[in-house]
Copies of this chain bind each other. A is one copy, B any other.
Amino acid sequence: MTLFFEDFSAGQSYASATLRVEAAAITAFAAEFDPQPFHLDDEAGRQSLFGGLAASGWHTAAMTMRLLVAGEFRPAGGILGIGGELTWLAPVHPGDVLRVVAEIVETRLSRSRPAHGLVKVRVATLNQHGETVQTFTPTLLVERRDAKQAPDSADR
């Protein structure tokens, strides 16, 4: 179900499916975007702070987005982030199974975009042990229910 700005309030929580992280996915992502030894090679991973082959933090972030887009959290107009605080807390290793929990932190109107509201959400990425491996706390632009009547002046 699509949710408009008016449907969100602090404390609401949305779940996702799970995603198993394969070694081949870790090394393929790293080869394209983050070719550092500890993301590409088992032995280099073991000798690093990660203690074993570890996914690039950007791979973890991208997998988090994939889980979020396919999950229960469906804001009107799509998931449109302006940005936020991103923190990596624990390494992601081959065989880990990730899931995402999105919790609404606050909602407020946008002065510059009357057709949208701002929704701040804390997106936690957890592994199969319940450890949080990443948090991201973006502010999102979410359409208001009456957006068609009062379009943003800045909208194209």
Contact = CB atoms under 8 A, between A and B. Distances in A.
Interface stretch (A3-11, A29-37, A95-103, A120-128): A29-37
State how many copies of this chain the complex holds. 2
* Interface residue SS majority, chain A: mixed
Given A61-B58, A141-B49, A35 B69 contact: yes
A154 to B, nearest CB: 9
Interface residues of A, number: 36
Nearest to A113: B49
A37 B78 contact: yes
Interface of A: 29, 32-38, 48-49, 51, 56-58, 61-63, 65-66, 69, 77-88, 136, 141, 155-156
